[in-house]
């Protein structure tokens, strides 16, 4: 399948390539083309297809892609809906300019741009998904002095009001009254701890799914202060909450009849340092009733998530809970920068989630949720401690800690710390797994 300018053709060329390789062939019989790019669709899965598509689009500054020709060339491997989803998402990623406050910006004509032509009418659902990816990226890239915890909550409330969906906001004082002692310990200055709950559904179903996102708008590590360059890019530590919020709003905009209920819980705070910062060796009683010894104040995200998970299980009566967070640096050592980590209490849930990720082209990999990891999380003076003394299997230990707060409900934890943003100088947010979360959650809400 070749793409060049607005021309797409399906011809047979004497080329061979492995997955991930690209051939650039010039001087072909295309009157308007300077170069033609080919993707071998034989047995190509969505993830590989999307990767190849993005690589192809990156070769030139300006492309025009004719959708009818593109769709015809790719049939019957992918449906028109799938192709529009993959293509528009890739184009939006390519065209999108990262958040910038430079005063010496290059002229727009010097930057790349891809134009999609021949699409009679944009699919509304796909528009919501693509917009959600952009929104999640914009939130994650915002400097922490601009998108503070308070500002993030304000934007969530405004969007909820616009869409006329239920939005509950609990501030530090109300959380303290409810017994969210772990959450309140992270935001000791009392100005930046929130729990935002968004709701969609019938309000009558016994089947409920909760998405719980970590929203640390900036993380200094607290008294366990991050050193060297480890504090750089901590604005991305709210990427989980950004994904949950953007996914929820996309589902709220999409027209479908839900049979079951969705709750989005965004645990939002800033892990700062000051005279009131929580001290190492402190012991706190969580919303769920477990006592937790604070052994590392830089393991703060799991404190917020733990109480978000408990609330989803105990108060909202969720039958399934998914947490998503930039939780551990350890997940990068386990999986590199391609696969997000996944832990779950249910093989059936994992099969559904993995199947969804294969469809959307996202990459996730299951890691063990084993009681053996809980041994290092046991405290001598409390039920649990929030960090182990060893860094070995750190991502799995964190997931095992969180699973202790699920109240025996079906549970998935997704660690995106290794895939939330690029590692180059641009430091661009990636909104990983958004499409997977969207379709998995929609399927849950519409199943019989």
Q: For residue 66, list its beta bridge partners.
A: 117
What is the distance between the alpha carbons of residues 72 and 75, in angstroms, rounded to a whole number?
Answer: 5
226 given a catalytic annotation: yes
What is the distance between the alpha carbons of residues 342 and 417, in angstroms, rounded to a whole number?
Answer: 12
- What order of strands is seen across the sheet that includes strand 283-285? 283-285, 291-293, 384-385
In this structure, what DSSP letter does residue 354 have? H
Considering the candidates 226, 259, 352, 366, report the single residue annotated as catalytic.
226
For the chain, the C-alpha Rg in angstroms (whole number) is 23
Copy the structure tokens of residue 239. 């990427």
**DSSP code string of 169-219:** EE-HHHHHHHT-HHHHHHTTTSSS-EEEEEEES-S--S-EEEEEEEEEEEE
What is the distance between the alpha carbons of residues 166 and 158, in angstroms, rounded to a whole number?
Answer: 11
Q: How many residues does the chain have?
A: 448
**Would you put residue 203 in left (φ > 0), alpha (ψ -120 to 50) or beta?**
left
What is the distance between the alpha carbons of residues 215 and 211, in angstroms, rounded to a whole number?
Answer: 13
Considering the candidates 199, 302, 409, 435, report the single residue annotated as catalytic.
302
Give the residue numbers marked as catalytic.
226, 302
């Amino acid at each position: 399948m070749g793409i060049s300018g607005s021309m797409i053709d399906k011809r047979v060329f004497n080329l061979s390539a492995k997955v991930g390789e690209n051939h650039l062939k010039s001087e072909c019989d295309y009157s308007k083309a300077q170069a033609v790019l080919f993707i071998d669709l034989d047995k190509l899965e969505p993830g590989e297809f999307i990767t190849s598509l993005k690589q192809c689009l990156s070769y030139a500054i300006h492309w025009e892609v004719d959708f009818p020709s593109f769709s015809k060339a790719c049939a019957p491997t992918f449906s028109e809906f799938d192709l529009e989803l993959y293509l528009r998402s890739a184009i939006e990623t390519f065209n999108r300019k990262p958040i910038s406050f430079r005063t010496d910006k290059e002229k727009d004509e010097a930057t790349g741009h891809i134009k999609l032509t021949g699409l009679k009418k944009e699919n509304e659902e796909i528009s919501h998904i693509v917009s959600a990816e952009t929104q999640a990226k914009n939130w994650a890239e915002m400097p922490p002095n601009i998108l503070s915890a308070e500002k993030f909550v304000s934007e969530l409330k405004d969007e909820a009001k616009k869409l006329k969906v239920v939005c509950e906001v609990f501030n530090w004082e109300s959380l303290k009254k409810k017994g969210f002692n772990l959450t309140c310990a992270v935001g000791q200055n009392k100005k930046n701890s929130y729990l935002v709950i968004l709701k969609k559904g019938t309000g009558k179903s016994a089947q409920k799914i909760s998405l719980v996102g970590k929203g640390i708008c900036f993380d200094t590590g607290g008294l366990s202060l991050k050193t060297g360059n480890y504090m750089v890019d901590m604005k991305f530590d709210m990427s989980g909450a950004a994904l949950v919020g953007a996914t929820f709003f996309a589902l709220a905009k999409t027209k479908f009849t839900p049979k079951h209920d969705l709750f989005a819980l965004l645990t939002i705070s800033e892990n700062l340092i000051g005279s009131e910062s929580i001290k190492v060796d402190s012991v706190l009683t969580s919303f769920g009733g477990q006592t937790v010894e604070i052994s590392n104040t830089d393991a703060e995200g799991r404190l917020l998530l733990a109480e978000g998970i408990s609330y989803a299980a105990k108060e909202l009566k969720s039958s399934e809970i998914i947490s998503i967070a930039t939780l551990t640096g350890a997940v990068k050592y386990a999986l590199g920068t391609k696969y997000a980590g996944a832990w779950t209490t249910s093989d059936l849930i994992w099969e559904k989630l993995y199947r969804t990720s294969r469809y959307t082209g996202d990459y996730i990999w299951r890691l063990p949720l084993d009681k053996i990891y809980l041994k290092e999380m046991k405290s001598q003076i409390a039920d649990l401690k929030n960090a182990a003394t060893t860094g070995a299997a750190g991502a799995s230990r964190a997931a095992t800690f969180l699973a202790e707060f699920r109240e025996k409900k079906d549970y998935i934890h997704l660690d995106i710390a290794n895939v939330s943003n690029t590692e180059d100088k641009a430091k661009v947010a990636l909104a990983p797994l958004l499409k997977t979360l969207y379709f998995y959650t929609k399927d849950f809400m519409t199943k019989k």
